[in-house]
Structure 1
Amino acid sequence: MSPIPSPDPLAGGRRHRWAAALLKLAGWQIEMTPPPVPRSLLLLYPHTSYWDFAIAILVKWSIGWPASWIAKHTVFRGPLARILRSWGGIPVNRRAPGGFVREVAEKLTARETVILVIAPEGTRRYQPHWKAGFMRIALTANMPVGLMAIDYKTRRITLSEYLWMTGDEEADMARIAAGYEGVVGRNPSLASPIRLN
């Protein structure tokens, strides 16, 4: 039995059909393996364009997973806040006392089931390394890390591997890097190297 909870009610019907149709029309293929447990953290890499978010939302609607994602709390303002929350957005204050990881972990532990998607670079711009927050969240919340790739070269969005973090950052990052080998972002020069600071 799949550990994924009931599909997002907003992902069914017409939304599911037109999201799938748009992705197909744009030439995208989706190959997603369901999470092995009810609580999982998915890394979306590489994140080099605004288009990555649009494509990821269409994927969420087309496959019907009740996935959530995090963004800066400042984005959730006015009428847009309600829309983003309905799409699975979770506002997080990265400068809050106690830190980003603690805030996210607390939000996750309140849920029995969750699929959380994170862009590990934390930005679309080039960075010399990934942010380590995803690894600390995975360890703190005891969640496996799924390697979700958005490859513009092959026009494929894939998720075929889930890894449990061991706490050995060097070894864990080496496994993650191997899983993303050959993946090309929309703007390759902006893809951050798969390493921690």
Structure 2
Amino acid sequence: MLRRLTARIFWLCSRWTLRSEPAPQRPSILIGAPHTSNWDFVLMLAISWRLGIDVRWLGKKSLFRGWRGPLMRALGGIPVDRDDPGRVVADVVAMARRGEVFGLVVTPDGTRRGHTHWKSGFYRIARETGMPVTLGYVDRTTMTSGLGPEHRVEPRLREEG
């Protein structure tokens, strides 16, 4: 309730406009790319809270040190150890298989600096869990933000033993 109220106030006071497809009705991966500013985080929370999406998001483990750790986790953060990125994929897959319902926000470029390719963790999670992928966007030219259409990823076929 507090999150929705906070988001409503944000959108009323902000220069930004929310133009979005409806919120996913099942666990989904929400892609935020390119990740170019720390304001992307604020907009991600405002979008998800306004649409009523319980989000989890991946962030570098240094964001979770000290006093920030409890706050970041309360906001849905999942720390990523860049020395062992495969572990977070396994952890998120386990969360989905336990039946947790959430939108997983991933910035596949992995940082605010420019890159020529995306990291593949979001795709591996989508294939392992059957979670659809939805592109989130922030358009600074038009000051609009939101979620695009949902896309299905073909699940990985499990080998019979």
TM range (shorter): 0.7 to 0.9
- Aligned CA distance change for structure 1 residues 98 and 159 (closer, same or farther; 3 Å): closer
Higher RCO, 1 vs 2 (CA within 8 Å, ≥6 residues apart)? 2
Q: TM-score, normalised by structure 2?
A: 0.83
CA RMSD of aligned residues (A): 2.2
| 2:31 aligned counterpart, secondary structure | strand
Q: State which of 82, 101, 107 in structure 1 corresponds to 2:89.
A: 101
- 1:43 aligned onto 2:59: no
| 1:78 aligned counterpart, secondary structure | coil
Identity of aligned residues (%): 35
In 1, Cα distance between equivalents of 2:104 and 2:85: 22
In 2, Cα distance between equivalents of 1:122 and 1:22: 26
1:172 aligns to what?
none
Structure 2: where are the runs of 5+ without partners?
Answer: 156-161
- 1:81 aligned onto 2:72: no
**Shift in Å at residue 149 of structure 1?**
1.1
**Shift in Å at residue 97 of structure 1?**
8.2
In 1, Cα distance between equivalents of 2:42 and 2:110: 16
- Aligned CA distance change for structure 1 residues 104 and 17 (closer, same or farther; 3 Å): closer
Q: State which of 23, 27, 45 in structure 1 corresponds to 2:11.
A: 23
Question: Contact 1:92–1:104 (CA<8 Å) still a contact in 2?
Answer: no
Question: Contact 2:7–2:49 (CA<8 Å) still a contact in 1?
Answer: yes
The amino acid across from 1:165 in the alignment is V
Question: Contact 1:44–1:120 (CA<8 Å) still a contact in 2?
Answer: yes
The amino acid across from 2:44 in the alignment is A
Question: Contact 2:130–2:154 (CA<8 Å) still a contact in 1?
Answer: no
| 2:67 aligned counterpart, secondary structure | helix
1:166 aligns to what?
154
Q: State which of 30, 34, 44 in structure 1 corresponds to 2:23.
A: 34
What count of residue pairs does the alignment treat as equivalent? 154
Question: Contact 2:53–2:102 (CA<8 Å) still a contact in 1?
Answer: no
How do 1:42-191 and structure 2 match up within 5 A? 42-96=30-84, 99-166=87-154
**Shift in Å at residue 133 of structure 1?**
1.4
The amino acid across from 1:107 in the alignment is M
**Shift in Å at residue 98 of structure 1?**
5.1
Q: Deviations over 1:124-178 (max 9, x none)?
A: 00011111111111001111001111111121112231111237xxxxxxxxxxx
Structure 1: where are the runs of 5+ without partners?
Answer: 1-11, 168-197
